[in-house]
Structure 1
Amino acid sequence: MASVLLTDDVPVVRMTVRRFLERGQHTVQECGSAAEAEALLGARPFDILVTDLWMPGRDGLTLIGWVKAHKPGLPIIAITGGAPRAPQLFSMEEAARVGADRVLMKPVGMQELLGAVAALAPSAATE
């Protein structure tokens, strides 16, 4: 079981992804912005970060860079529907460039998400 920080600015996406993670027996703390995520990451440990890329204010790319600088070793799964006015491949490449360990395209499937969590945080995998 992993402790997951989920960051997405869209409440219905957070609800869906949280439910997927909870079905995999993971504990989930959710927030709606990069600023909130940074505060939570500074306050307590997590096994993995799942973050949207394109959010108002500081985006997920900025959050990933912050995590790499302040919480090295924390696995990161980026989820994205694609950048505004850019091909989906752009988002995938940008997320990998800044350090995401895995990039999943929305709509994210439950098995795809749970498989990524298990691969990146194997000590937290369910039995």
Structure 2
Amino acid sequence: MESAGKTRSALVVDDVPMMRESLALALGDAGFEVSTAGNGKEALELLQTREFDVLITDMWMPEMDGLRLLKEIRGKNPAMRIFGITGGGPRLTIETMSSLAEIWGAERVFLKPFDDDDLIAAIEAPRGDASGNG
């Protein structure tokens, strides 16, 4: 049976299968219909076939990282809420990557390891209340 409200959809992009699965389970439990992608290139292919309410992307991935993904999709779906996740990487500091992600449209970047409940609370908060200060 379909509920009165529209089911929200989320796209989780991370090159680490365990991270993808963990986030997909947490978001599914929160009532989201979840799709996953292993990198930004796979995410772009999915975004060409459908729209998502929320995008959660790792910032460091092979083939196409989260920053390049944000640059590619910025402006194409202004209603989609975007959150970054990162554990750091080889080229930029976590702080620099977080700042760049926010410049390119991420509402907030979560540092790994983070509590799934904190991410879900940020997603469910009204736009603009999720940014935090750090």
TM-score (norm 2): 0.82
Give CA-to-partner distance per residue, 1:53-75, whole Å, 9 cap, x none: 01011110010111114223321
Give 5+ residue unaligned stretches, structure 2: 1-6, 128-134
Q: Structure 1 pair 41/85, CA: closer, same or farther in 2 (3 Å)? A: closer
Q: 1:63 aligns with which of 69, 94, 100?
A: 69
Report the aligned-residue RMSD: 1.6
Query: Would the alpha carbon gap of residues 120 and 62 (structure 1) be closer, same or farther in structure 2, given more than 3 Å must change?
Result: farther
Higher share of residues assigned helix = 1
Q: Which one has the largest radius of gyration?
A: 2
After superposition, residues 1-127 of structure 1 pair within 5 angstroms as 1-84=7-90, 86-119=92-125
Identity %: 37
Distance 1:110 1:96, change over 3 A: same
Return the TM-score normalized by structure 1.
Answer: 0.86
Larger relative contact order (CA 8 Å, sep ≥ 6): 1
Q: Contact 2:53–2:79 (CA<8 Å) still a contact in 1?
A: no
Equivalent residues, number = 121
Aligned-partner Cα distance in 2 for 1:20–1:43: 24
Unaligned runs of 5+ in 1: 122-127
CA distance in 2, matches of 1:62, 1:120: 26
Structure 1: which 4+ aligned runs deviate by more than 6 Å? none
